[in-house]
Amino acid sequence: MAKEVIRVGILGLGTVGSGTVQTLQENKKDIEQKIGARLEIKKIAVAHPDKKRPVPLEPGWITGDVNEVMDDPEIDIVAELIGGVEPARSYIDRALDSGKHIVTANKELLAKGGHELLTKAATHRLDFYFEGSVAGGIPIVQAMKIGLAANHIERVVGIVNGTTNYILTQMAQEGKDFAEALAEAQAKGYAEADPTNDVEGYDAAYKIAILASIAFMSRVDPEDIHAEGIARITAGDIRYARELGYAIKLLAIGRQENGSIQARVHPALLPFAHPLASVNDVFNAVFVRGSSVGEVMFFGRGAGALPTGSAVAADILEVARNIRFGSAGRIACTCFENKSVIPMDTIETKYYIRMKVSDKPKVLATIAGVFGEFGVSVESVVQKAVPTGESAEIVWVTHQALEKNVREALEVIARLPVVAEVSNWIRVEE
Ligand code: HSE
């Protein structure tokens, strides 16, 4: 007989947990109709049971003892909303051993150990859903696992970190420098006191590791992902980029070509006409190209209590449906293949390069000559005089070039007596 009541245990009641509880409670009637059964939160295990919470809680829900979730045979689904690798991994492992289905929003754990956990869940014929781990409220995981499952995915490119997108938007729209925009993001609660994970690109690297693994059906280890942040982008770079017809965005890029994978996170110049170029503030967007569907783009809020709560609550609903209809454990890990992630030196793209040089005859020709020696062809060059005398700032945009060649050419150029500094170089994505 189909189950009449499905019970959920939640681990953690921070931002995501609160948004999940609020979503489940506010839309309880609709959700239960969709499941065809009652859905009850049975216990919420937290580190500080006496802390005031931003959501209404029913008596008896909160416990300081995680075992009250783990050891309760009535709990069917465990929603792990603690974050970080440990103790989350051990709790999930234990919950799977006791036959509980898992929902999580834990990007770091998924990126580092998702394959093993998903495989274990499938072996036990249990569900393991993780929509909230990537791009908050945007249902990109289910879209790729189900809606686009019949495609060969060629590319998945996203703006998947709201904090850095907010900072870059402030720099572009208000002319602020990085430090000022970061301080404002912190004051507004978008950036954490220690912003390293966001601004250095690690958060985005976990997310593209998850998306690329699904898209390309091969495990992508976050350690193989080149992650570069936005701290070295200046308001000047953004102005030059704009003059050239580009926005600067922190992109998480996954591509597959000839059986190998590119997975990288770095700031990039994007033509204004590209749909990702107009994704601003804290919004996220993911652009996918599939063999049959062509191009699709998903846009929405990538963080925050209710958007992420929307994703987690939808996963809980889906697992509950599967329990009710006896169809749990259908969608296992799809990393059937073993494709390698290619090193950055072997990628080919266009480059924006800004440098300070002496404003003298033959300087441009000398530098262009070095680019030429390394097989780097120049597409355009802009020179601006610097008011303080005999130096100039030059911005080059190259044609498609091998990253290794560009890097080596810049090492030589930086040592030329006429070059004061190579100030920045940023990849250009068309
Ligand atoms: N810190 C992330 C962001 C949200 O700024 O997008 C959580 O993944």
User: Does the Cβ of 307 fall within 6 Å of ligand 1?
Assistant: no
Cα 146-152-154 angle, rounded to 5 deg: 115
- How many other C-beta atoms are found inside a 10 Å radius of the C-beta of residue 53? 16
Tell me the CA–centroid distance for residue 82 and ligand 1, in Å: 15
Mean pLDDT by 10 residues, the chain (430 residues): 92 97 98 98 97 94 98 98 97 97 97 95 97 96 97 98 97 96 93 93 98 97 98 96 97 95 98 97 97 97 95 98 94 91 97 94 94 97 78 95 98 97 96
Per-position DSSP letters for 168-225, written without gaps between them: HHHHHHH---HHHHHHHHHHTTSS-SS-HHHHTTHHHHHHHHHHHHHHHTB---GGGS
How far is 422 from 403, CA to CA, in rounded Å? 16
Ligand 1 atom showing the smallest separation from residue 302 Cα = 6
Sheet holding 5-11, edge to edge: 62-63, 38-45, 5-11, 77-80, 101-104, 128-129
3-state secondary structure of 362: coil
Work out the widest C-alpha separation in the chain, in whole angstroms: 87
Comparing C-alpha atoms, which of 154, 164, 166 is closest to residue 287? 154
Q: Is 14 left (phi over 0), alpha (psi -120 to 50) or beta?
A: beta
> Would the pTM of this model clear 0.85, i.e. be above it?
yes
User: Catalytic: which of 107, 120, 207, 350?
Assistant: 207
- Domains of the chain, each with CATH number or no CATH: 5-136+305-324 (3.40.50.720), 140-300 (3.30.360.10), 344-428 (3.30.70.260)
Tell me the CA–centroid distance for residue 346 and ligand 1, in Å: 29
Whether 217 and 223 have beta carbons less than 8 Å apart is answered as: no
Ligand 1 atom showing the smallest separation from residue 303 Cα = 4
- With the most atoms of ligand 1 within 8 angstroms of its CB, the residue from 196, 202, 203 to mutate is 203
Ligand 1 atom showing the smallest separation from residue 161 Cα = 6
What is residue 360's predicted lDDT score, i.e. its pLDDT? 87
What is residue 207's predicted lDDT score, i.e. its pLDDT? 98
Tell me the CA–centroid distance for residue 47 and ligand 1, in Å: 22
Q: Give the residues across from 38 on adjacent strands.
A: 5
What is residue 313's predicted lDDT score, i.e. its pLDDT? 98
Which residue's CA is minimally distant from atom 4 of ligand 1?
A: 303
How far is 9 from 153, CA to CA, in rounded Å? 35
Residue 28 annotated to the active site? no
